[in-house]
Amino acid sequence: MTNNPVSRLGRRSFLTAASAALAAPAFAQDRDFSGQSPQRYTDSAFVALDRRFQKYVIGNTPLQRLWTGAFWAEGPAWNGAGKYLVWSDIPNNRQLRWLEEDGHVSVIHSPSDYSNGNTFDFQGRQLSCQHLRRVVRYEQTGAVTVIADKFNGKPLNSPNDIVVHPNGDIWFTDPPYGIGGNYEGFKATPELKEAVYRVDGKTGKIEKATDELDKPNGICFSPDYKKVYICDTGAPADIQVFDLANETTLRGKKQFSAMKLAGHGSGSGIADGIRADVDGNIWAGAGRGGAGYDGVHCITPSGETIGMITLPEICANICFGGTKRNHLLMCASQSLYGIFVNTVGAHIA
């Protein structure tokens, strides 16, 4: 007998239930994450907008608020060897670590130079985008290596999110959010147009991959590393996808998702951070759309939003973690959330 009630719905009742769930944000405001008030399964955080999403819903798992206390949580990355999550609390100028074993949270880097996005390379070394206008790598010795801080002799804006290709190349986005004021860094004047960069893994040379987006933000590869998805948190506030030619060149830009949901007006919200699962779906940390929109959106490889995990806070970024990489870990405003899903992250961090 299935533990997923979605699969027992007829088409009409399924669509009605999905619409009702989307329009009813009560749990987001009233839910008790202390465990004192039980949450009935299937957890109401799962919102199916299409029958295809039922494949990814686990009917007997809870949405958990694993920790709270940040000012703006960002940049989660999973360390498989250490079985821990690292993420940034940008305004508090620190990085935090959550242990899978017992849920213990501690500070791993302070100051973090206002780090934002993080990842781990294929040698297990942590890479961080810092709003102090550079990308760094934490070496196994404890030393910190600056990977990028300038392009054509001019300082970067404020590196935001980062991924690593199996060939060793490092890709990162560079919008100006960290230099727009003194809250997430230090106010400064941008000297470069917002862009996406690639650092050659062998030579260390930095090259501009594209400056076609207004405010390039979250970035991820497709499971086969043949496509690159990039969130634009400027105009038109969408997700763009490029073909990756010869492992180095972006071509054929097109809109992947407009990040709009029925019932949320023409403006809807934005996608901030993204990750791919093994089926090629893009899971997007979504926000600025209000209750019933904010959380994580699951988008098929063809660009259709089929489901959501709604959260009571704006979701900035996500990653797949845990021993089996099926634990969706979500940085949302002040908090870290987690929920198990019936898929696996496509990449290591």
Predicted pLDDT of residue 24: 40
The residue assigned the tokens 């934005």 is 270
Confidence of residue 37 (pLDDT cuts 50, 70, 90): confident
Confidence of residue 109 (pLDDT cuts 50, 70, 90): very high
pLDDT tops 50 at residue 182? yes
**What is the SS3 assignment for 13?**
helix
Instruction: Evaluate whether residue 347 is within a structural domain.
Output: no
Contact 219, 229 (CB under 8 A): yes
pLDDT tops 80 at residue 213? yes
Instruction: Evaluate whether residue 244 is within a structural domain.
Output: yes
The whole-number average pLDDT for the span 22-43 is 71
Summarize pLDDT for 292-311 with one digit per residue, the tens: 999 999 999 999 999 999 99
Instruction: Evaluate whether residue 349 is within a structural domain.
Output: no
Count the domains in the chain: 1
Summarize pLDDT for 83-107 with one digit per residue, the tens: 999 999 999 999 999 999 999 999 9
The whole-number average pLDDT for the span 161-178 is 98
Predicted pLDDT of residue 265: 60
Q: 123 lies in which domain range?
A: 5-340
pLDDT tops 70 at residue 26? no
Instruction: Evaluate whether residue 325 is within a structural domain.
Output: yes
Confidence of residue 31 (pLDDT cuts 50, 70, 90): confident
Q: Rounded to whole angstroms, how far apart are CA atoms 258 and 172?
A: 22
Confidence of residue 21 (pLDDT cuts 50, 70, 90): very low
Instruction: Evaluate whether residue 123 is within a structural domain.
Output: yes
Structural tokens at position 52: 């295809």
Q: Rounded to whole angstroms, how far apart are CA atoms 293 and 32?
A: 20
More confident residue, 220 or 263: 220
Instruction: Evaluate whether residue 60 is within a structural domain.
Output: yes
Instruction: Give percent above pLDDT 70 in the chain.
Output: 90
Instruction: Evaluate whether residue 345 is within a structural domain.
Output: no
Predicted pLDDT of residue 267: 61
Tell me how crowded residue 250 is: count the other CB atoms within 10 A of its CB: 20
- Over its C-alpha atoms, the chain yields an Rg (Å, rounded) of 19
Instruction: Evaluate whether residue 92 is within a structural domain.
Output: yes
The whole-number average pLDDT for the span 155-173 is 98
At a CB cut-off of 8 Å and minimum separation 6, what does 51 contact? 6, 11, 14
CATH code for position 92? 2.120.10.30
